[in-house]
Structure 1
Amino acid sequence: MALGSVVVCFGEALLDRLGPLGGDPAVDRPVDDRLGGAPANVACGLARLGTPVAFAGRLGQDAIGEAFASLFAERGVDTTLLQRDAVRPSRIVLVCRSLEGERQFQGFAGDEGAGFADQALEPVALPQARWLLIGTLPLATPTSAEALLSAVRQAWSQGMAVALDVNWRPTFWDPVADPVAGPDPKALAAIKSLLQQAALIKLAREEALWFFNTDDPGSIQQALPQRPDVVVTDGAAPVRWQLGDESGQQAAFQPPSVVDTTGAGDAFTAGLLHRWAAAPQERVRFAAACGALVCGGAGGIDPQPTQAQVEAFLGRVS
């Protein structure tokens, strides 16, 4: 483990297969294959911004796994905790894109009968770090769920703060589920357990309503025993936040262009953690700029900005 990792990103790394605008990635061509997965996106975003970061996940012994190994090496992401699976392939997620670039997950490809490598993620021994960044998708499979819960227990015992991006994706829990369906009672219970252990929670507005019956970040903070920091995003609408005793909102920045919104929320999360030492309003403003800039390219990783690019963008819009 490289010395000085500030964040450990734990969870899925996968391939997003982007269909043509307005088309079906399962049958229509051309498709655009992009490396992704929320924790992997955040890890790469943090590394590009300059925050030391490690990634803990599981990939197949396949071309996707090799591509990630090369990407992580190029970005400088520590891969000591990266597992490789000789039986199960890396996951391919089929992503539909509207004519406006908005995306929706519709299913998977690549399963050869044994499931995907990320579903078999095994427990890891966490290094000392400031943050453990997690999502909820590993909870959908028993083996990876136990690995995730083990990591959270370790984080608590080591004094690491847990940052949770809810990132609800019904297709991971049930491949035939409606992509816009809310969580069922089993998923609600599993995810609520994580919500009660996080120091920072990022939710989309619809996720806030599903889990808390409110989209007000201050009310969500007060509803949880640990009184976490809470950020609620809502697409192009303003981001609302409650960070400690301070609250506010940040208007979404207009991207220079919109090619694909995949990974915008993950770039936001990376920017938020990268600028955590700043004042609350500045943290969120920087994060919002990161999210906007990612929309200018395809996929969630390639268009991620450097700190200098974010600062230049903020200089133009201020």
Structure 2
Amino acid sequence: MKNDFIDTQDSMKSSNVISVGEALIDRLGPPGGDPSRDKPVTDCFGGAPANVACALSRLGASVSFMGALGNDLIGKDFKNLMIDRGINIVGLQEDKLRPTRIVLVRREDDGERVFGGFEGEKGLGFADQAISKKKIIQDWQLVSKKAKWLIIGTIPLASEISADSFLWCVEKACNSGIKIAIDLNWRPTFWRKKASKSLAPTLEEKIQVNLILKNASLIKLAKEEAEWFFDSSNPRDISFSLSQRPSVIVTDGPRPVAWYLNNIYGQSNAISPSSIIDTTGAGDAFTAGLIYKLLSIDLDEINQKIAQDIIQFAIACGAHVCKGVGAINPQPYLEDIDNLLSLYNGGIS
């Protein structure tokens, strides 16, 4: 196994946010079709941590991405996209043995998506499954000096090599006073070698995920994920089930978002875009919106009004992405969210 740095022409500065995990391709089939056989397909850059990094950068935040791409055309194109977005890629690794992962995504007629299998594997797995701990350790100091937040999901825990690197980042962040935001992002396809009809996590999978949940300052998860992992979709109950009492946000598609920020509970109405093309990456844009707002205020300083404004901004970020294809291309600029919120006449319940 050999993972090398991806060279950069400029030495990039430490960022306020570090996003660690997978960068990959979402291969979207035609609406209602199967991307493994039906045409046309659309290849879009994706992977939740990469999506969040790109969304944060477009909003104007300073962000670093740490992960691995294959030494292939997809990997090179993804690297160039991150450079164009102004993302610090000092921690981006190039794997010369494993390809960039391609995820098959079935799109329903209403824009909802179902994750299928993968394409491109050549016997050694995918680049995102082999993020090098040695390289992570070498790069950490270059990206973490000014970091306030570490953003992670759970998918790297499904691969032994990447899990080792991933858990090192979590421990280092905890020891350095960097707050940890976790988007649970449960995707059983990444964890299981064989296709399974059951979407719920097994006991063993829950144990793996719980290794990082105990370290979170903020947890964002979908309603079904909340019920699977915590037997509750009430964010206050979820927070109180964990010793560090994190802030918790529970999303539920087009239904209201339930949240618990700095011991304040509330619900916020979703925003329905005029047309929904594709929901891929909406949750990642929501997470980016949350963190963008939290960069300018400490969790302990949040009151009811501030909490409502933070959640509404995040909701608008997620809604905006649904108006285009893929997770990254339709991500909003700040003015897009200002315009959307000015037109929105809904409210907080």
TM category (shorter chain) comes to over 0.9
Which residue matches 1:310?
337
Equivalents in 2 of 1:2, 1:180: separation in Å?
44
Is 1:169–1:179's contact at 8 Å kept on the other side of the alignment? Answer: no
Runs of 4+ in 1 over 4 A off after TM superposition: none
Find the partner of 1:5 among 15, 22, 25: 15
| Contact 1:18 1:95 (C-alpha < 8 Å) held by counterparts | yes
80, 97, 110: which one aligns with 1:70: 80
- Percentage of identical aligned residues: 49
Contact 1:261 1:295 in 2 (8 A): yes
Distance 2:163 2:293 in 1: 29
Pairing 1:228–2:246 present: yes
Farther-moved stretch of structure 1 (28-37 vs 186-195): 186-195
Structure 2 residue runs of 5 or longer lacking an equivalent are: 1-10, 298-305
> Which residue identity is paired with 2:333?
T
State whether residues 61 and 86 of structure 1, in contact with CA within 8 Å, keep that contact through their aligned partners in structure 2: yes
Cα drift, residue 2 of structure 1: 3.3
Name the SS for the 2:227 alignment partner: helix
Q: How large is the RMSD of aligned CA atoms in angstroms?
A: 1.1
Query: Could you give the per-residue CA deviations for residues 245-267 of structure 1, whole angstroms, max 9, x where no partner exists?
Result: 11111111011311100000000
Q: Which amino acid aligns with 1:293?
A: H
Structure 2 distance, partners of 1:56, 1:22, is 34
Q: TM-score by structure 1 length?
A: 0.98
Give the Cα separation in 2 of the matches to 1:53 and 1:8.
Answer: 6
2:320 to 274, 293, 297: 293
Q: Which residue is 2:302 aligned to?
A: none
1:166 matched residue in structure 2: 184
Shift of 1:194: 1.0
State TM-score, norm by structure 2. Answer: 0.89
Measured after TM superposition, the shift of residue 211 of structure 1 is: 1.1
Asked whether the equivalents of residues 13 and 88 of structure 2 are also in contact (C-alpha less than 8 Å), the reply is: no
Distance 1:170 1:103 in 2: 14
Q: Which moved more, 1:157-166 or 1:274-283?
A: 274-283
| Structure 1 gap ranges (5+) | none
Aligned residues: 318
Q: Deviations over 1:89-124 (max 9, x none)?
A: 000000001111110101000001110000000121
Q: CA deviation at 1:49?
A: 0.2
Q: How far off its partner does 1:157 sit?
A: 1.0
Asked if the contact 1:7/1:131 (under 8 Å) is kept, the reply is: yes
| Residues 15 and 37 in structure 1, CA contact (< 8 A), matched pair in contact too | yes
- Structure 2 residue aligned with 1:246: 264
> 1:85 aligned to 2:107?
no
Superposed CA deviations along residues 179-228 of structure 1, whole A, max 9, x for unmatched, are 66111111100111211111100011111111111100001111100000
Structure-1 residue corresponding to 2:4 = none
Is the contact made by 2:271 and 2:315 (CA closer than 8 Å) also made in structure 1? yes
Q: Which residue of 2 aligns with 1:94?
A: 104
